[in-house]
Structure 1
Amino acid sequence: MTRIFSWYCRGLEGLMALMLAIMVIMVFGNVVLRYGFNSGITVSEEVSRWLFVWMTFLGAIVAVREHGHLGTDMLVARLPTWGKKLCLVVAHLLMLYASYLLLTGSWQQTLINWDVSAPTTGASVAIFYVVGVVFAVSAIVFLLHDLWRALSGQLGDAELVMVHESEEQGDIDRINAELARRDAEEAARAEQARRGGKP
């Protein structure tokens, strides 16, 4: 399951890169045409706006998977294991409810705007809203997977705190965990060498 999630997120990252490239080409091309040739790409502004919205939501999907959204861990990090697990379960249930609300609202807006045409492209305005459905479905799957791992005891104590107050703090925590692991390995090797040296 983890491998499927990784492939999915890698695909989303590739799609976001493509969307960003299209946005840059359209906006830059529009500027050059407007100031250099008194012309322009008519659909540039509308398509760029849609791509930006899609990129934001797809990036949020990847962030949900990688636990990249910022939060406050000041209290949760100090709780015992059962407290961390309880907070994680409650937080995931609330996020699942919020994702459900986003799913139903986005789906209703998609249906309402299905026959509404955009002013410059003539495409359905539902394209703008269906990304909420994509995000909500993906987030619900990821959140349910994390919730199942937490309830089945597959998460370690450090993994029970899935938010960090800053990106730098997340990096620091990962580095500290790696250093602690290395120190433990070196201590075990030193102890083994000391015992092996005894007559």
Structure 2
Amino acid sequence: MRKLAFWLSRGAEALAALMLAVMFGAFLVTILFRYVLNWPSGSASELSSVMWVWLVLFGAGFVLREREEIRFDIVYGSVPPWLRRIFLVITAVGIVGLFLLSLPAVWDYVTFMKVQRTAYLRIRYDWLFSVYVLFAVAVICRYLWLAGRAIAGHDPMSPEPEEPQTRAKGD
């Protein structure tokens, strides 16, 4: 199971890297078209914006680890592990509750937006915004998992287990 999680994690990182590369390429094309060739660059600019939205939400939902998130943790880091677990469970209940509460409205909005398309690339807005639904479900699953681990006694500040080795010994 850990190997599968490892490879899914690597796949998500590769997809995020691909989105970043596409966004950067579109950004360079926008600069070339607008400032060097003096041509319109709406499609490249729009692609860059679409990739930004997808990269941020996909990355936050599937690539970013709990330990890598930026937070104000002076109090959190100074309390004993049992209290950190309680903090995490309370936080998880709040986050999961809010995301579950908002999910039906988010779904309605995203599915409603199928009637509109982006200006240049003609991407349907329901496809464009669908990444937020994926993000919301990923956050719900992540915090349910974190709360379960905290309830089982795992200290949220303890080091994560090492990732499985993908190479044979001696490589």
Shorter-chain TM-score tier = 0.7 to 0.9
Tell me the matched-pair count.
158
Could you say which structure has the greater relative contact order, defined with CA pairs below 8 angstroms and 6 or more residues apart?
Answer: 2
For normalisation by structure 2, the TM-score amounts to: 0.78
- The 5-angstrom pairing of residues 1-199 of structure 1 reads 1-61=1-61, 62-63=63-64, 65-153=65-153, 155=154, 159-161=155-157
8 A contact 1:111–1:126 mirrored in 2: yes
Specify whether residues 102 and 48 from structure 1 end up closer, same or farther in structure 2 by C-alpha distance, changes over 3 A only.
farther
The Cα of 1:82 is off from its aligned counterpart by 2.8
8 A contact 1:33–1:39 mirrored in 2: yes
Root mean square deviation of aligned Cα: 2.3
Would you identify which runs of 4 or more consecutive aligned residues in structure 1 move more than 4 Å?
A: none
For normalisation by structure 1, the TM-score amounts to: 0.69
- Residue 75 of structure 1 aligns to a residue whose secondary structure is helix
- Residue 150 of structure 1 aligns to a residue whose secondary structure is helix
Look at both structures and tell me which one has the larger radius of gyration over its CA atoms: 1
**C-alpha distance in structure 2 between counterparts of 1:84 and 1:59, whole Å:** 26
The Cα of 1:103 is off from its aligned counterpart by 3.2
Specify whether residues 101 and 68 from structure 1 end up closer, same or farther in structure 2 by C-alpha distance, changes over 3 A only.
farther
**C-alpha distance in structure 2 between counterparts of 1:103 and 1:8, whole Å:** 25
**C-alpha distance in structure 1 between counterparts of 2:75 and 2:36, whole Å:** 57
8 A contact 1:107–1:129 mirrored in 2: no
The Cα of 1:2 is off from its aligned counterpart by 4.1
The one-letter amino acid paired with 2:74 is: M
**C-alpha distance in structure 2 between counterparts of 1:141 and 1:7, whole Å:** 18
Structure 2 portions without partners, runs of 5+ = 160-171
The Cα of 1:91 is off from its aligned counterpart by 1.1
Structure 1 portions without partners, runs of 5+ = 163-173, 175-199
**C-alpha distance in structure 2 between counterparts of 1:46 and 1:126, whole Å:** 16
The Cα of 1:42 is off from its aligned counterpart by 3.5
- Residue 132 of structure 2 aligns to a residue whose secondary structure is helix
Deviations 1:54-104 (A, max 9, x none): 1111221222x3432122322233333332221111011112123324533
The Cα of 1:133 is off from its aligned counterpart by 0.7
The one-letter amino acid paired with 1:35 is: Y
The one-letter amino acid paired with 1:160 is: P
Identity %: 27
8 A contact 2:89–2:150 mirrored in 1: yes
